[in-house]
Structure 1
Amino acid sequence: MSIDNRPTVRRVLIITLLLNILVMIIKVVVGQMTGSLSLMADALHSVTDSANNVLGLVASQFSSPHPDREHPYGHLKFEAVGALGIAAFLGIACFEILKGVVDRLLTGGKPVQIGATELWILLIVLGINIFVAFYERREGQRVGSPILIADAHHTMSDIWVTIAVLAGLIGVWLGYPWLDIVLAFPVACLVFWSGWEVLRTNLPWLVDEAAIAPEAIHDLVMQVPGVINCHDIASRGVVGRQVFVEMHLVVAADDVERAHQITEDVEVEIRNRFAPVRVLIHVEPPTYESDQISYGPPAPSPGEDLKTQN
């Protein structure tokens, strides 16, 4: 049975969207008041936070785990597509930050003016960002939502961005105006790293990378009474969210009813370990027994391995 976590995902995204809009407005206002390049870059990062929340709401609306005629495997990959959109937003933010730094270095600009009041306001903004990141990550892990976890990564990068900007503005306040430009570079690096993490996490799901090691499934299945051989194992999806498992099975059965019962026992064991999961089993006669657990070239025999080394 697939788990539909969309109501929780939507609730969390709406809460974080409202908080991110508040943070964005505060940064823009303070950035305009102080003339800080790094703070305006940070505000741009917060714009992508809000855009990501909207993107997540749209993706969640279409990411039902329940199959239908057009999508017999469900619609969960919409969440991964949404997460890739977040990575794209992060890349755009990184480019805009670097562009702003280069423009400031080439053309200069008015000096940054910062006071204690603005610094205290940014500390409050930092506290909001910390709350959003940990709240979103906790809820994403609890319900197994890639879109929430990906967005939490983005918000976590915003925390480090705000810390870097705050440190730079404190330096400006103490008489080091060049810190505002210098610290914009690590801001861009943090944004880029967050985008890479989101991309690295979600691409395996989209390209159907194995969700479970075939050896783990093989060891589990071979413990079921009546199973003689298990081979050509394949899996895809996300463990804890939805996994699809396929395999070929040789069983000790004299009739179809007994063979069916053994496959049912196998499915129960797999569901107990990796639920939610959909299992497809192809029962074969004993002559089809194979040592090839999964797909790809079979492992060489000891004699062939020795011959290769010589």
Structure 2
Amino acid sequence: MKRYEELKKGESGAWLSIGAYIFLAAVKLTIGYLFFSQALVADGYNNASDIIISIAVLIGLRISQKPPDKDHPYGHFRAEHISALLAAFLMAIIGIQVLIEAGTTLLSANETEAPSMVAAWTAAGGTVIMFFVYRYNKQLAQKINSQALAAAAQDNKNDALVSLGALIGIIASHFHLGWLDSLTALLIGLIICYTAWTIFRDATHSLTDGFDEKTLEGYRNTIEENEQVHLLKMVKARQVGSSIYADVTIEVKPTLTVKDSHDIADQIERDLRTKHNILHTTVHIEPKKEDK
């Protein structure tokens, strides 16, 4: 039940992101269009796309909290990955749209006018707000060990940097370099597309049961610390939402009783849960092979 309670706590971070993004997207798009700043408009669209990500994280957290049922005996933790994939596709569409608009302006022969400093102050405010949202979600993600929320926090940090870039572009355009505003918008579009790609890559990696080899090495070291384990034959793991499931095969003395073997398996499960926060471990025990 602890894992479900942690997922519930993670909702506060998703709601905070949604509220911040709705506010910033509305303000930046309004100011950007009124004061002719393509960089700020692009930043606003970036925040609008982030609303989708935050909603996807929230939906994923909500569905993941559903307990196992007849059709889902392992629970619903993979819902986080599915929602992340949908968010990645929508983000890519928005990013491509920003690239097209910014690229068209850059390639046109028309001289672009430097946007008002109101746009610069708006970008500065967005930078500060997203930095504090990032700090909150990062700390919450570490507290509840949520990879989905950690990814959202990373996205919050990227948004703070995007707003900072928009601020720099707007200010630079006042030094008779109006095209820098459009160039900044182009770079923001690239950042949106790149973020969409990284979310897609990570989600598909988890959905196809990909797992980090260095992390597995840590699991091996923990298991091999158990003196009752004669040989660690295999350890595998997969990411299911924010949770980890592991499969372990070990060899022990053939003279051990069933109870003793069961106690060893229980100890391995506890060690992996305590040291690596693995939700569920299946331990298969085999007798030590006799030396020939």
TM-score w.r.t. length of structure 1: 0.80
CA contact 2:68–2:74 (8 Å) conserved in 1: yes
Listed as ranges, the matches of 1:8-23 within 5 Å are 8-23=9-24
CA contact 2:126–2:160 (8 Å) conserved in 1: no
The aligned counterpart of 2:3 is 3
Q: Which amino acid aligns with 1:69?
A: K
Question: For each residue in 1:264-308, what CA deviation from the matched residue of structure 2 results, as whole angstroms up to 9, or x when unmatched?
Answer: 23333333322243121222233499xxxxxxxxxxxxxxxxxxx
Identical-pair percentage: 22
SS at match of 1:204: helix
The aligned counterpart of 1:193 is 194
Q: Which amino acid aligns with 2:194?
A: W
SS at match of 2:225: coil
Q: Which runs of 5+ in 1 are unaligned?
A: 290-310
CA contact 2:106–2:183 (8 Å) conserved in 1: no
The aligned counterpart of 1:70 is 71
SS at match of 1:48: helix
Q: Once the 2 structures are TM-superposed, how far is the Cα of residue 182 of structure 1 from its aligned partner? A: 2.1
Question: For each residue in 1:155-196, what CA deviation from the matched residue of structure 2 results, as whole angstroms up to 9, or x when unmatched?
Answer: 322222222222222123333222222222222232233233
CA contact 1:251–1:262 (8 Å) conserved in 2: no
Residues 164 and 175 of structure 1: CA distance in aligned 2, closer, same or farther (over 3 Å): same
The aligned counterpart of 2:225 is 223
Listed as ranges, the matches of 1:157-306 within 5 Å are 157-210=158-211, 213-237=215-239, 241-252=242-253, 253-287=255-289
Counterpart Cα distance in 1 of 2:115 and 2:62? 43
CA contact 1:211–1:243 (8 Å) conserved in 2: no
State which drifts further: 253-262 or 162-171.
253-262
Q: What do you get for the CA RMSD once the two structures are aligned?
A: 2.8
Q: Which runs of 5+ in 2 are unaligned?
A: none
SS at match of 1:72: coil
Q: Which amino acid aligns with 2:259?
A: E
The aligned counterpart of 1:46 is 47
Residues 277 and 186 of structure 1: CA distance in aligned 2, closer, same or farther (over 3 Å): same
SS at match of 2:231: strand
Counterpart Cα distance in 1 of 2:86 and 2:27? 25
TM-score w.r.t. length of structure 2: 0.85
Residues 259 and 141 of structure 1: CA distance in aligned 2, closer, same or farther (over 3 Å): closer
Q: Once the 2 structures are TM-superposed, how far is the Cα of residue 95 of structure 1 from its aligned partner? A: 0.6
Residues 99 and 6 of structure 1: CA distance in aligned 2, closer, same or farther (over 3 Å): same
Question: For each residue in 1:14-37, what CA deviation from the matched residue of structure 2 results, as whole angstroms up to 9, or x when unmatched?
Answer: 122112111111111111211222
Larger radius of gyration: 1
SS at match of 1:208: coil
State which drifts further: 41-50 or 183-192.
183-192
Question: For each residue in 1:104-134, what CA deviation from the matched residue of structure 2 results, as whole angstroms up to 9, or x when unmatched?
Answer: 2455668545333443233222211222222
